[in-house]
């Protein structure tokens, strides 16, 4: 009888709001909400991308330009994909015709486009997401692990990526909006 009572008490505390079960509620720090993996799941549309040097000076992004377009997707099974495109890409290839302005392996076709896919892991303590690249537009990126700081506030996701370019280290801040 005692075991039945304990089992019933446990069931009630996990089912009733305000019970003793730990809820999956994001913590707040410095005005941002740091999400769990479940809160990251979804499709996100790129709103802005800012590139700065470590000293805070803004720099031009020669690859994606000042106002790229893109989507980022995280699914509940741990897979992710991202595609970014320069908004003013030159037309180098028209899929609607049999001819192209450049050969099929021209770097102009890929210029201004960035894409990769793979799996991801979330470190809630350090507020980071790591993208484990299984495929990428740039073959040299396959197998890399890209660590990104992130936070969510409402339907807005901010991801900060730090680069280690040979001549200058950059901080790239990407702001995404959840797609409904």
Stretch 161-175: mean pLDDT, rounded? 88
Alpha helices in 53-172 (DSSP H): 107-110
**Is this model's pTM higher than 0.75 or not?**
no
Q: Which residue is it, tokens 């003793």? A: 20
Give 23-75 pLDDT, tens digit per residue: 333 344 444 555 578 889 999 999 999 999 988 999 988 889 989 999 999 99
pLDDT of residue 94: 56
pLDDT given for residue 38 in this prediction: 85
> Which domains, ranges and CATH numbers included, belong to the chain?
32-178 (2.40.128.490)
Average pLDDT over all residues of the chain: 78
* Cα–Cα distance, 77 to 43 (Å, whole number): 14
Angle at 154 between CA 170 and CA 178, to 5 degrees: 70
The 10 Å Cβ neighbour count of residue 49 is 21
Higher pLDDT among residues 166 and 17, named by residue: 166
């Amino acid at each position: 009888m005692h075991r039945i009572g304990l089992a019933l008490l446990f069931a009630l505390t996990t089912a009733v709001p305000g019970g003793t079960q730990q809820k999956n509620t994001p913590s707040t720090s410095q005005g941002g909400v740091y999400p769990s993996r479940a809160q990251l799941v979804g499709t996100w549309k790129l709103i802005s991308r800012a590139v700065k040097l470590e000293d805070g000076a803004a720099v031009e992004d020669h690859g994606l330009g000042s106002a790229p377009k893109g989507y980022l997707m995280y699914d509940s099974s741990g897979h992710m994909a991202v595609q970014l495109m320069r908004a003013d890409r030159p037309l180098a290839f028209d899929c609607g015709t049999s001819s192209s302005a450049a050969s099929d392996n021209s770097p102009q076709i890929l210029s201004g486009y960035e894409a990769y896919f793979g799996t991801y892991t979330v470190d809630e303590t350090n507020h980071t997401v790591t993208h484990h690249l299984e495929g990428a537009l740039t073959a040299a990126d396959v197998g890399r692990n890209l660590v990104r700081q992130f936070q969510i506030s409402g339907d807005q996701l901010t991801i900060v990526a730090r680069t280690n370019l040979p001549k200058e280290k950059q901080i790239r801040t990407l702001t995404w909006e959840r797609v409904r």
